[in-house]
Amino acid sequence: MRLIFKAVLLMILGATLAVAKPTIYILATGGTIAGSGSGSLDSSYTSGTVTVDKLIAAVPDINKIATIKGEQISNIGSQDMNNEVWLKLANRINELLNSGKADGIVVTHGTDTMEETAYFLNLVVKSDKPVVLVGAMRNSGSLSADGPLNLFNAVNVAISKDSVGKGVVVVMNDEIHAAREVTKTNTTGVDTFKSPNSGKIGTVFYGNVKYYMNPIRKHTASSAFDLTGVKELPRVDIIYSHANDNPDFVNVAVKNGAKGIVSAGLGNGNPYFSVLEALGEASKAGVVVVRDSRVGSGETTMNGEIDDAKYGFLTCDNLNAQKARVLLMLALTKTSDKAKIQEFFLTH
C-alpha cells in the first residue's frame, strides 16, 4: 500500500515538474509590432494601436513554452519614447526580475528608438536574467507581417539559459544583437538591425537559439548605474554636423540648460570650425561635451585631429551618438567628474 502511495506521489511530482514552465512577462510599449493599417498592402499605418493581449493572442505557440503574462507600459510610436517611459519600464523590469515573479522579460517596442531603450535598460537593469527587445518592420495587418515570428523568437530567447548574463538583447529578423552594438540601418527593410562594429551575437531560427559571442562591456548586474532615487534624467542634446555648419544649435542647447552635448561630428568626430569653438566655450562653461561621429561605425579617437585636452572634450569610444547620449545622461546622474565619465565610456 505504502509503495503504491509513493509511486502516485512521484507521478504527481513528475507531472508538476514537467509542466513547470518559465514565466515570461511581455511588456508592451507600442510600435509597428502593435500597429495596424487599412489594408494588407498598405504601407501607411498607425503605430501602437494593438494591445498586448492581442499581440500575445496572435502567437499562441508561446503559451506552450512559457507562462506568458502581458502588461501595457505605454502604446506609442517609439519616435515618442521619452525618459518617463524609460524610468517606468526599467523600474518595472527590476521589480519583476528581482522579486522572482519573472524568469525573463520581453519588451515589444517600435524600431525607431529600440536601440536607445535597449542600451538604457542594458545599463540600469540589475539582473542577469534575460531581457529581450523585439519589434516589427511590418504592421500586424500587413502581408508577411514579421511581428508574430519575431515575438515567438523573442520569447524563445528569453527562456534560453544561454541568454542569462548576456545583458539586454534585441531580437529581430532571426538575429540576436547586443544592446550596446545594435542600430537601425534601414528605414523600411526587415533586415534593418545590424551591429556594425562587432556583428550579431547569435541567431534564433524558428525558436532555435544559438549564441556565437558574448558582450564584454559592463552591463546590467555589473553596470555602474542604477536608478535608485533617480526621478529624472539630465538634459543631453545631440548636435549633428554638416558642411557649411554654424554654431547656433550649440549656443541654444547651452542657453536652454543642456548639461551635456554629444557632437555627432564629421568623420573621426570633427565639428565645423565655428562649431568646434562653440563646443569649447560650452565645455568651459561646465557642459560636458562628448565628441562622437555621424558616420555610424568606428571609434572616435581621442586627440585625432582635435586637441581634446585643450577643449576639455571627452570621446565616445565607438558608441553611436544616440547611445552616447544615453550613457552621458546616466553618467551625469552620478558625477560631473570628466575623468570618471570618460572611464564610463571606455568600460560600458
Q: Are strands 202-205 and 45-46 parallel, antiparallel or unpaired?
A: unpaired
What's the rounded Cα separation, in Å, for the pair 176 and 157? Answer: 8
List the one residue from 74, 78, 150, 160 that touches ligand GLU (CB under 6 A): 78
Residue whose CB is less far from ligand GLU, 37 or 215: 37
**Least distance (Å) from ligand GLU to the CB of residue 322?**
13
**Binding to ligand GLU by residue 117, rule CB under 6 A?**
no
Collapsing DSSP to helix, strand or coil, 298 comes out as coil
List the one residue from 40, 79, 186, 303 that touches ligand GLU (CB under 6 A): 79
Read off the DSSP letter of residue 266.
B
Contacts of 306 (CB under 8 A, 6+ apart): 269, 270, 276, 291, 313
Stretch that binds ligand GLU, among 75-83, 149-157, 211-219, 296-304 (CB under 6 A): 75-83
What's the rounded Cα separation, in Å, for the pair 224 and 347? Answer: 10
C-alpha grid cell, residue 341: 565619465
**Least distance (Å) from ligand GLU to the CB of residue 226?**
27
Number of residues that bind ligand GLU (CB under 6 A): 12
Residue nearest to ligand GLU (CB): 110
**Least distance (Å) from ligand GLU to the CB of residue 157?**
19
**Binding to ligand GLU by residue 47, rule CB under 6 A?**
yes
**Binding to ligand GLU by residue 167, rule CB under 6 A?**
no
**Binding to ligand GLU by residue 137, rule CB under 6 A?**
yes
For 56-89, b/e burial (b = at least 16 CB within 10 A) is bebbeebeebbebebebbbbbbbeebeeebbbeb
- Known catalytic residue: 32? yes
Stretch that binds ligand GLU, among 11-19, 74-82, 98-106, 244-252 (CB under 6 A): 74-82
Q: Which residue has the cell 492581442?
A: 54
**Binding to ligand GLU by residue 146, rule CB under 6 A?**
no
List the one residue from 22, 37, 70, 77 that touches ligand GLU (CB under 6 A): 77
Alpha carbon of residue 339 to chain centroid: 26
Alpha carbon of residue 299 to chain centroid: 20
Stretch that binds ligand GLU, among 12-20, 51-59, 110-118, 198-206 (CB under 6 A): 110-118
C-alpha grid cell, residue 250: 550649440
Stretch that binds ligand GLU, among 24-32, 88-96, 296-304, 339-347 (CB under 6 A): 24-32
Residue count of the chain: 348
Residue whose CB is less far from ligand GLU, 22 or 135: 135
* Catalytic hit among 32, 220, 300, 315: 32
What's the rounded Cα separation, in Å, for the pair 306 and 75? Answer: 43
Largest distance between two CA atoms of the chain: 92
Q: Which residue has the cell 572634450?
A: 313
Residue 149 has φ and ψ, to the nearest 5°, of -70, -40
List the one residue from 37, 70, 110, 130 that touches ligand GLU (CB under 6 A): 110
Contact of 182 with 195, CB cutoff 8 Å: yes
**Binding to ligand GLU by residue 320, rule CB under 6 A?**
no
Residue whose CB is less far from ligand GLU, 78 or 223: 78
Q: Which residues are known to be catalytic? A: 32
Task: Give me the residues that bind ligand GLU (CB under 6 A), please.
Answer: 30-32, 47, 77-79, 110-112, 135, 137
